[in-house]
Structure 1
C-alpha cells in the first residue's frame, strides 16, 4: 500500500480558490479505484490518502494534484508492506509481493 501525505504550504486564502479542484482530484482517485481511504489530519494540518500499491499510477496521480501544481503543498509518498489485516480488508494488501 502507498500512503500519500499532503502538507499545505500556502495560506488559507491561497488554498481556498483551489480546494474544489483538490476535492475533484481526490474523487477521481476513488472513482478510478486507485485510492482506498483518506481524510484530514487531526489537528487539520494536511491530509493522508491510502492508495493501492501501484507506484507508477500513484506518482502520475500525485503529479496532477492542484495544490502542489501551484506550489501550495508538499506531497510525500511512502510504501507500507501491509502484513496483517482485519476481516474484510484484504484489498489493503493488493499489489504487494507476498
Structure 2
C-alpha cells in the first residue's frame, strides 16, 4: 500500500480552482481500483490518498494529480506495509 502525502504550495483560492479536476482524478483512480481512501489534512494544508498497486505506477499517477501537475502542490509517495487492517479495511493490506 502507498500513501500519497499531498502538500499545498499555492493559496487556497488556487486549490479551489483546481478542485473539480482533482476530484475527477481521485474518482478515476478509485474506479480503476488504485485509490482506496482519501481526504484532507486538518488544518487544510493538503491531503492524503491511500493507494494500492505497483510503486512505479503509483508514483506516475501521483504526478498526474492536477494539483501537482499544475504546480499547486507537492507529493511524497510513502510505501506502507500494513500488517493489520480492521474488518472492512482489508483493501489496505494489498
Return the TM-score normalized by structure 1: 0.87
Unaligned segments of structure 2, at least 5 residues: none
Deviating runs (4+, > 6 A) in structure 1? none
Unaligned segments of structure 1, at least 5 residues: none
Secondary structure at the aligned position of 2:81 is classed as: coil
- What are the superposed Cα offsets for residues 47-88 of structure 1, whole Å, 9 maximum, x if unpaired? 001011421221121121111111110101100111112123
Matches for 1:82-97 after TM superposition, within 5 Å: 82-94=82-94
Once residues 90 and 19 of structure 1 are traced to their aligned partners in structure 2, the CA distance between those partners, rounded to angstroms, is: 29
CA offset at residue 37 of structure 1? 0.6
CA offset at residue 16 of structure 1? 2.3
Return the TM-score normalized by structure 2: 0.90
When Rg is computed on C-alpha atoms for both structures, the one with the higher figure is 1
Secondary structure at the aligned position of 1:4 is classed as: strand
